[in-house]
Structure 1
Amino acid sequence: MEENQNINPEENPEFVPENQEQLDHSDSIVKVNGMYKDWFLDYASYVILERAVPAIEDGFKPVQRRIMHSMKELDDGRYNKVANIIGHTMQYHPHGDASIGDAMVNIGQKDLLIDCQGNWGNILTGDGAAAPRYIEARLSKFAGDVVFSPKVTNWQLSYDGRKNEPIHLPVKFPLLLAQGGEGIAVGLSTKVLPHNFNELIDASIKILKGKPFTLYPDFPTAGIADVSNYNDGMRGGRVRVRAKISQLDKSTLVITQIPFATDTSKLIDSILKANEKGKIKIKKIEDNTAAEVEILVHLPSGVSPDKMIDALYAFTDCESSLAPLGCVIENCNKPLFIGVSDMLKISTNRTVNILKRELEIQLDELETKWHFANLEKIFIREEMYIDFKLYSDRESLYEYLYKRFEPFKKILIRNIEDEDLQKLTQIPMIRITRFDSDKADDAIAKLEADIEQVKHHLANLIDFAIDYFTTLKEKYGKGRERQTELRSFDTIEATKVVLRNTKLYVNREEGFIGTSLKKDEYVADCSDIDDVIVFLRDGKMIITKVDDKKFVGKDIIHIAVFDKNDKRTIYNMIYRDGKSGASFVKRFNVSGVTRDKEYDLTQEKPGSQVLYFSANPNGEAEVVTILLRQVGSVKKLKWDVDFAEILIKGRGSKGNTVSKYPIKRIELKEKGISTLRPRKIWFDDTVQRLNVDGRGELLGEFKPNDRLLIINQSGKVKTIIPELTTHFDDDMIVLEKWKPSKPISAIYYDGEKDRYYVKRFVIENENKEEIFISEHEKSQLEIVSTDWKPMAEIIFSKVKGVQKDNLLVNLEEFIAVKGIKALGNQLTTDKIRQINLLEPEPEKMEVKNEENISEDIKTDLEDDGQITLSLD
């Protein structure tokens, strides 16, 4: 193969051309880098302006605009084959049928501009549309009302110069914000998220009224969205979207809504991959999606549904993050980066201008009709047509007519022109002979009324625009309510919800840890994303990631899976400072560390050694006995140290002195109890989560063994340890701190016996969820109360026109506390229309000694003051 011989003679003076003709052509050579620079810029500009980015004026990309224009040209009220529409659009669009077909399906699936017939695919499942020859389409009524107005449209020649196409369509609605849009051009991209139809109209009306407004996305796949960092849809913003997951039963989760920009197939694939990687553990998954999403996730026994919901959000496409980027084309020639609020303002102002132009055109047409109607009336009434035979040419005839109309110029609104006279001379004689002056006056009066109305609209243009938007909402807004629920999300820590599907082992003497050391000491279950905290005998501490096998240091005294946000685990330690120094005691927690960095918990002297160490998950403080070696005249060789008396400080603290003499050994004398304060827990109804940050309603202060009481509308009751990751059912009606001896009162309808019953009970099995109403399918819970003395109002139905007086029932007096499975006492034999729970009566008790007051009553006295005590 010969080498390429494109050599520049100026750069290579030794090169001698074979003939002079080669030199003559050297002046026309263009360097490749020059061509690349010019051509690439042209290409980039074309892709940005003509393909990928929508225009701010009408919200369409060029292919979308050409599709809509073609559908308008083909519109006869009937459906057209999509293949036919694609072929017609190719007269305007130079990029082939595939790009047109894909763009048309995309518009059709948004259910706004195109009335679709046939299989247009499914945005929920990701199924594609049928071939264009099998599906049909026509313009929707909404598109006919808001997209087209030929009289105010500006036109340009198509790419081949044979047709006229609109530069922009006169869209009178923020289509780009309603449908959303995205595209990747050369050097930039755009991603405008879809917004709610009715909310856009409401916001446009607020703009016209000068009121503030906010816009947040609303997705056709519904789901849940956190828009706290939306940033008005501009660069740098983020929208977190989640699937809607609920607990169907103890072993089944159901996904009923999915995040935007995904589909059920992708979602299921992500769940299966997470299961294969061991992040989650599921039994099987079923996809029952049809018109609505229904994905059943079956869990194996022993897997917490609450924890699994968080794990699905953490490790699968059930949660994703969207990065909006508001980029549009302005004035057909440059990209503009803009927020959705400004997009809506521009769209609203453009709608007002289009309405104004339409009104001005309508006014001109009405005035033209009024002008000619009056000319015709005068022409026939004055019998100007009789003398036509006296004039042989047009000029003399027009001169005659101008003179005849001269006395009537004052009543006309514009000058008479030759075109007016031409129309008058072409009026058929039969129309003249049948001319009805009264009907003509009525028609003129109607035109005058229409002219006044249009002038009124022009004079009150903003009010007219507000009425226009209001009419749009009334006509097309039904069924377009918000689908996506807006909610603030808690950040899910993957390490807290990941499936711990492997085991961590340790070789303490050799200093190795890992998941492959199966012959060594078992530590705990873990996952491959967990961190491990390790304490060594020499006082060193290190936090490192789980691995198959890793050396961390010899003589390990404690190892555990590490939670960086755990502030309640307290480490109690006694160490010797150096080889023969004094011993010190300290209590500390561990947070804010760097992975794989070695920390010294002693005073960093050589030979330092940990003499006693314990890890306490709830801040427990034990009592230990110190035994000294017999040294000289030391008399006190034994005493106790209570860790409860030691303040909790940072891990770098020196600690308190235990003894300056050598310690023989340290013995555990007494196990400790928590020295941490009870933890205050709140319930945030917005996110349906517990928290310790003061958000929402305070549930109380919780000690380690305290529990929450949960009652659902379905008649189920249970108690749980208050964990911050707990999920709550939608039908939860009671959530409060559980007081074991405090009875629960309920009135329920028994579907089998067709009677209302009253029961009072206490929970006997705190670790079991139980149902306290009958399990007949028609049974239902009417009211439930955890007050000491609840009151209910019974409203009876009319019987033969007679209304029985309402009945007040003190549930405490009505029935004694019985077992949770007891049927209860029948409330009444009369027909009941309604049952209301009233404010409880304050309980008054007289006791002789404070010791007789139960702890629950004391707590209620402190919490709500409902109980009045008289103490001697």
Structure 2
Amino acid sequence: MAEEENEDLTNDQNQDANETITRITGMYKEWFLDYASYVILERAVPAIEDGFKPVQRRIMHSMKDLDDGRYNKVANIVGHTMQYHPHGDASIADAMVQIGQKDLLIDTQGNWGNILTGDSAAASRYIEARLSKFALDVVYNPKITEWQASYDGRRKEPINLPVMFPLLLAQGGEGIAVGLSTKILPHNFIELIDASVKHLQGKRFTILPDFPTAGIADCGDYNDGMRGGKVRVRAKISQYDKNTLVITEVPFGTTTSSLIDSILKANDKGKIKIKKIEDNTAAEVEILVHLPSGISPDKTIDALYAFTNCEISISPLGCVIEDNKPLFIGVSEMLRRSTDNTVQLLKQELEIKLNEFEEQWHFASLERIFIENRIYRDIEEEETWEGVIQAIDKGLQPHIKHLKRAITEEDIVRLTEIRIKRISKFDIDKAQQKIDALEDQIAEVKHHLANLIDYAIAYFKRLKETYSEGKERKTELRAFEDVDATKVVIRNTKLYVNREEGFIGTSLRRDEYVCDCSDIDDIIVFTAEGKMMVTKVDSKTFIGKNIIHVAVFKKKDKRTIYNMIYRDGSKGPSYIKRFAVTSMTRDKEYDLTNGNKSSKVWYFSANPNGEAEVISVFLRQVGSIKKLKWDIDFADILIKGRASKGNLVTKYAIKKIELKEKGVSTLKPRKIWFDDTVQRLNVDGRGELLGEFRGEDRLLVINQRGYVKTIIPEVTAHFDDDMIVLEKWIPKKPISAIYYDGDKERYYVKRFLIENESKEDLFISEHPKSQLEIVSTDWKPMAEVEFTKERGKDRKENLQVNLEEFIAIKGINALGNQLTKDKVNQISLLDPLPYEAPEDVPADTIDVIDEEDVSSKPSEDLEEGSNLDDSGQPTLF
């Protein structure tokens, strides 16, 4: 048995030795490269010459083959395209639907889907299409088209279509190949033509995306559509009523369905809070978002941008095919190349026309010579074809000195083909008129060739004049302000604290409730040992024993001031300090005392608006201390950095500290600006200064529709596009207005005060034809009325009206006094009369510290927290 086993093993080894190993790495390398090249060149990436991918080019070519001015079934077009495109009908049909939905090259009929809702098109046997007039005008010219054999060699297809327009930029293009991708965003039709004209004129130009779904776009980082750029696109959201938001435009790349799904998902996660959503989208987008009572519409709008697809970021990537190679370029260079290519195509067109006109002129001249000089009679006695040709050639020779080229045998053959009937009816005058007309056409074409750039500019202007109707910009361009998610997130959980054991978290439901918070908030915590820490919200986190204060942390918050008295060490002196905490390193413990062991906090308070209270200090009776009690006003203590040692309170042992008197703010009113670029309020000094605001101050907002309201000046506030007045509200300052009443068809003047500061009121009549003419918040406004000139009468002199004298202050719902019975042409505001407004007396006299003076020790930045939801009451120890 052992010998047999050894023999089998030897046979196996010999068999292994005879086997050969074939390496297939080279095969994979070649095949993969071929496959990658095919996908890049033949499927995914458009050509720069005409802006088409191969399937799109073949669809357009097939539609031209079938074009007779009538609609064709898409199924028929798809079948015809399969003669040129070696792929399935589904891919061709999908590509054709995408072209049709862009509403530029294909005139569609039937259900072609909806880019707003994401609904797909009907089956190709039910829908029809034909080429648009624009496509017939700019895409085709077989005389200047280069051709190649189709994939099976039976037919010819264009290598590139002679597109004389920056079509790729107008339609956009997207594709994923092997090893690269492309994403060229669509641009505005009219703006592309204007940019092409500017390029031809040698001027600089800028082109930015314009999306068919409209929306609002921030193209500040567009980077000319190259790699690394970014475009932020937002839905258009406005306030429908106090508890309802309406979305009327969606971001490019989303649909109403995907948008609603993202909103519902954010609601389920507790990021936002909504009651229900209604989708009323038909031809236009209308999504109603109903909010529960008590939820801020402005904050919800920001939350929709922060947590849903109401704001998306698009990364463009300009990649095209040129000379069978991928090329990465920006949209400006694409437009330059497209425009230059259009100029060359126009030149080729003109040269072909010139050649055709010259050929027509040449034969018309020969025809006239042939008939007018009766040369056709010279061939009557000729018996051979060669003799006929020679006879005609000989007869023409005396008359052809003015011709522009030599006569060929083909020219003579064409003369022999003229019918006798045409010779008999030949009119010399008409023939000369035809020759003259051809000479004019030749001169015109030569002029165009000599002034090719001017001709190209006129060509683009003709395109704009002919086809620009309905192609105005849809996407509003606007700079966005980043939405801080921590400021707009709904407080979807509760924070608890176990002060004695030193734990905070959302799962400590048996312990002390602190406040509502969100799962993305940061929490600031102080302990009785004078330690401070900022940490992320979690189910349970250990901070340190004897917690004295816990709250949601706000980064860069200069208005929350912490008042503190602590003992340095076990028997050291006590110090007093005031400080703000604007930034920290998360989960790092900070010592707010002098750093000695056994330090203790005697007194601590957190003051959201920089309040400074008065406290009483009591000392222990030790030795010969004379003064055992005195008061300290925190307003006398300067606000410094959190690492400062503080001012000495006493070197003796403190028995207790009591709150004597609640404090008032020691900070100046907050300055608020309005940035018109992003249509938002800010405290960073950007835009127009609206004024200095205390806690009770409000903003006055008036829009062109005649609505007036006052709002709290929060940086999350949103403003309508038709807002015409935004200023600090002075309650006793009257508002003056002149409006046209649609019911009575008269102009009225009214002056009123805001009666309900928390309500939005309409101060003109509700008639649909009523409209606000002018509104003023000046104390003594002046207006000028220009009257319409009536037929047969002299124009009435302009009337200047002192609105203060014209009408007394009445209720906001009053009709007002009639301005005039005459027909009014125009009403305009004049400079107001001088008036010394009453001084705005400060609410207190302790507001002496500027917010900019509040300093803190530099440290690493931490993500900004949400608004502090804390009473700010002092804690005694």
Same fold (TM over 0.5): yes
Counterpart of 2:473 (choices 448, 473, 482) is: 482
For 1:474 and 1:13, locate their aligned partners in 2 and report how far apart those are by CA, in whole Å: 88
Deviation at 1:649, TM superposition (A): 2.5
Distance 1:206 1:612, change over 3 A: same
User: Deviation per CA, 1:791-815, whole angstroms, max 9, x where unpaired?
Assistant: 2344567789666655433232233
2:497 is the counterpart of 1:506? yes
Distance 1:396 1:216, change over 3 A: same
Q: Are 1:181 and 1:193, in contact at CA under 8 Å, matched by a contact in 2?
A: yes
Deviation at 1:705, TM superposition (A): 2.5
Q: Are 2:785 and 2:828, in contact at CA under 8 Å, matched by a contact in 1?
A: no
2:240 is the counterpart of 1:256? no
Which residue of structure 2 lines up, in the alignment, with residue 855 of structure 1?
839
Distance 1:825 1:430, change over 3 A: closer
Q: Which structure exhibits the higher relative contact order, with contacts defined as CA atoms closer than 8 Å and separated by 6 or more residues?
A: 2
Which residue of structure 2 lines up, in the alignment, with residue 16 of structure 1?
14
Distance 1:39 1:397, change over 3 A: same
For 2:678 and 2:93, locate their aligned partners in 1 and report how far apart those are by CA, in whole Å: 42
2:77 is the counterpart of 1:79? no
Distance 1:680 1:422, change over 3 A: same
Which residue of structure 2 lines up, in the alignment, with residue 812 of structure 1?
804
Which residue of structure 1 lines up, in the alignment, with residue 855 of structure 2?
none
Counterpart of 2:535 (choices 544, 552, 569) is: 544
For 1:433 and 1:818, locate their aligned partners in 2 and report how far apart those are by CA, in whole Å: 96
For 1:832 and 1:589, locate their aligned partners in 2 and report how far apart those are by CA, in whole Å: 63
For 1:508 and 1:801, locate their aligned partners in 2 and report how far apart those are by CA, in whole Å: 90
Which residue of structure 1 lines up, in the alignment, with residue 358 of structure 2?
367
Deviation at 1:857, TM superposition (A): 10
2:724 is the counterpart of 1:740? no
2:416 is the counterpart of 1:425? yes
User: Deviation per CA, 1:258-282, whole angstroms, max 9, x where unpaired?
Assistant: 1100011111111111111111111
Distance 1:811 1:46, change over 3 A: same
Counterpart of 1:790 (choices 776, 781, 784) is: 781
2:237 is the counterpart of 1:242? no
2:220 is the counterpart of 1:228? yes
User: Deviation per CA, 1:715-734, whole angstroms, max 9, x where unpaired?
Assistant: 43332221111112334332
- Correspondences of 1:473-872 after superposition (within 5 Å): 473-748=464-739, 757-773=748-764, 780-794=771-785, 806-821=798-813, 823=814, 826-827=817-818, 830-831=821-822, 833=824, 836-843=827-834, 854-856=838-840
Q: Are 2:375 and 2:396, in contact at CA under 8 Å, matched by a contact in 1?
A: no
Deviation at 1:440, TM superposition (A): 1.3
Deviation at 1:121, TM superposition (A): 0.4
For 1:305 and 1:626, locate their aligned partners in 2 and report how far apart those are by CA, in whole Å: 47
Deviation at 1:237, TM superposition (A): 0.5
Q: Are 1:794 and 1:832, in contact at CA under 8 Å, matched by a contact in 2?
A: no
For 1:285 and 1:130, locate their aligned partners in 2 and report how far apart those are by CA, in whole Å: 28
Deviation at 1:522, TM superposition (A): 1.5
Query: Tell me, what secondary structure is at the counterpart of 1:69?
Result: helix
For 2:642 and 2:44, locate their aligned partners in 1 and report how far apart those are by CA, in whole Å: 57
- Coordinate RMSD, CA, aligned: 2.5
> What number of residue pairs does the alignment pair up?
833
Query: Tell me, what secondary structure is at the counterpart of 2:14?
Result: coil
More off after superposition, 659-668 vs 795-804:
795-804
For 2:774 and 2:25, locate their aligned partners in 1 and report how far apart those are by CA, in whole Å: 81
Amino acid at match of 1:32: I
Amino acid at match of 1:193: L
User: Deviation per CA, 1:120-147, whole angstroms, max 9, x where unpaired?
Assistant: 0000110000000000111111001101
Which residue of structure 2 lines up, in the alignment, with residue 868 of structure 1?
none
Distance 1:412 1:526, change over 3 A: same
Which residue of structure 2 lines up, in the alignment, with residue 189 of structure 1?
181
Q: Are 1:223 and 1:484, in contact at CA under 8 Å, matched by a contact in 2?
A: yes
For 1:329 and 1:421, locate their aligned partners in 2 and report how far apart those are by CA, in whole Å: 48
Query: Tell me, what secondary structure is at the counterpart of 2:240?
Result: strand
For 1:615 and 1:605, locate their aligned partners in 2 and report how far apart those are by CA, in whole Å: 24
2:455 is the counterpart of 1:471? no
Q: Are 2:375 and 2:392, in contact at CA under 8 Å, matched by a contact in 1?
A: yes
For 2:113 and 2:668, locate their aligned partners in 1 and report how far apart those are by CA, in whole Å: 58
- Correspondences of 1:162-181 after superposition (within 5 Å): 162-181=154-173
Distance 1:398 1:304, change over 3 A: same
User: Deviation per CA, 1:459-510, whole angstroms, max 9, x where unpaired?
Assistant: 0000000000000000001110000000000100111111112221111111
Amino acid at match of 1:739: I
User: Deviation per CA, 1:364-414, whole angstroms, max 9, x where unpaired?
Assistant: 111111111111221222322222244333334333433333333431111
Q: Are 2:528 and 2:546, in contact at CA under 8 Å, matched by a contact in 1?
A: yes
Deviation at 1:416, TM superposition (A): 1.3
Which residue of structure 2 lines up, in the alignment, with residue 319 of structure 1?
311
Which residue of structure 2 lines up, in the alignment, with residue 35 of structure 1?
27
For 1:766 and 1:361, locate their aligned partners in 2 and report how far apart those are by CA, in whole Å: 75
More off after superposition, 541-550 vs 400-409:
400-409
Which residue of structure 2 lines up, in the alignment, with residue 351 of structure 1?
342
User: Deviation per CA, 1:157-196, whole angstroms, max 9, x where unpaired?
Assistant: 1111111111111100011100001000111110000000
Distance 1:91 1:581, change over 3 A: same
For 1:598 and 1:773, locate their aligned partners in 2 and report how far apart those are by CA, in whole Å: 60
Which residue of structure 1 lines up, in the alignment, with residue 329 of structure 2?
338
More off after superposition, 266-275 vs 190-199:
266-275
For 1:379 and 1:46, locate their aligned partners in 2 and report how far apart those are by CA, in whole Å: 58
Amino acid at match of 2:54: P
For 2:80 and 2:800, locate their aligned partners in 1 and report how far apart those are by CA, in whole Å: 76
Amino acid at match of 1:203: A
Query: Tell me, what secondary structure is at the counterpart of 2:658?
Result: strand
Q: Are 1:795 and 1:832, in contact at CA under 8 Å, matched by a contact in 2?
A: no
Amino acid at match of 1:855: E
Q: Are 2:746 and 2:821, in contact at CA under 8 Å, matched by a contact in 1?
A: no
For 2:462 and 2:790, locate their aligned partners in 1 and report how far apart those are by CA, in whole Å: 48
2:273 is the counterpart of 1:281? yes
Which residue of structure 2 lines up, in the alignment, with residue 68 of structure 1?
60
Which residue of structure 2 lines up, in the alignment, with residue 299 of structure 1?
291
Deviation at 1:778, TM superposition (A): 6.0
More off after superposition, 446-455 vs 425-434:
425-434
Q: Are 1:787 and 1:840, in contact at CA under 8 Å, matched by a contact in 2?
A: no
More off after superposition, 266-275 vs 565-574:
565-574
Which residue of structure 2 lines up, in the alignment, with residue 5 of structure 1?
none
Counterpart of 2:379 (choices 365, 383, 388) is: 388
Deviation at 1:14, TM superposition (A): 7.1
For 1:388 and 1:749, locate their aligned partners in 2 and report how far apart those are by CA, in whole Å: 90
Q: Are 1:741 and 1:856, in contact at CA under 8 Å, matched by a contact in 2?
A: no
**Superposition TM-score, scaled by structure 1 size:** 0.91
Q: Are 2:46 and 2:53, in contact at CA under 8 Å, matched by a contact in 1?
A: yes
Deviation at 1:766, TM superposition (A): 3.1
For 1:447 and 1:167, locate their aligned partners in 2 and report how far apart those are by CA, in whole Å: 33
Q: Are 1:312 and 1:318, in contact at CA under 8 Å, matched by a contact in 2?
A: yes
Which residue of structure 1 lines up, in the alignment, with residue 128 of structure 2?
136
Deviation at 1:607, TM superposition (A): 1.5
Q: Are 2:699 and 2:728, in contact at CA under 8 Å, matched by a contact in 1?
A: yes
Distance 1:630 1:690, change over 3 A: same
For 1:685 and 1:95, locate their aligned partners in 2 and report how far apart those are by CA, in whole Å: 53
2:190 is the counterpart of 1:198? yes
Deviation at 1:602, TM superposition (A): 2.3
